[in-house]
Amino acid sequence: MHLPFLTPENALIFRCTHIRNVPWILANGLHCGNSAVRDPGFVEIGLRDLIERRAQQEVRIAPGGVLSDYIPFYFTPRSVMLLKIVSGHGVPRVPKHDIVILVTSLRELAKRGLESLLTDRHASLGAARITSNLEEGLTRIDWRNLQASDFRHGDDDPERHERYQAEALVHRHIPLEALQRIVCYRPQEKAQLKDEIGRRGLELSVEAHPDWLFQ
């Protein structure tokens, strides 16, 4: 699948979460794992041990702290972690219709004065290069393979799988207004989300893109 909109000019970033987390996000925005502001009903998806390791891993540049002081995003909706989650490969399986993808852009966050860091591969890896310079960081992203959804392990490019998992790390908090849209799997969830957003008097685009969830 080709995703031509994944470009440094757009600088789009993506984060998946459980659909049951959306009402709290609509009321509170996004908060990092170490935040004192927590969703008491938060539904966790992904690797528990990875989440715990990120709580210990130091960030080498300002604003510093540990990885859990940041909200992690990928530069593609079709992340390696999302594939694991919907297939149940090494993690508890979650049905595709129970997952949403939150979308914004680093340029939008920068306009709002929100601090972000960029890594050229998965942030938990020791080889990851990290920067707070937006334009420098964007030049390090492997846009060609992201556009092609190509994260194969292979002798021809042994680091491709790592680079595909490059991250944008947003410090502490993202207000709801900084999100650009929510993407879900089916029209049923789209209607459900639009109703939830409308009842709160909010404006946030909702789209259904089953191909983003590895249909």
Pairing of strands 181-184, 205-208: parallel
Strand partners, 18: 99
Verify whether residue 115 is a known catalytic residue: no
Which is the catalytic residue, given 54, 78, 121, 163?
Answer: 54
Radius of gyration of the chain (CA): 16
Contact 14, 77 (CB under 8 A): yes
Residue 193 zone, left/alpha/beta (φ > 0; ψ -120 to 50; rest): alpha
54 is catalytic: yes
Q: Identify the active-site residue in 121, 163, 167, 189.
A: 167
Indicate the burial class of 215 (C-beta count within 10 angstroms; 0-12, 13-18, 19 or more). exposed
Q: Say how many CA atoms lie within 13 Å of 123 toward its Cβ.
A: 32
Q: Which residues are catalytic?
A: 54, 167
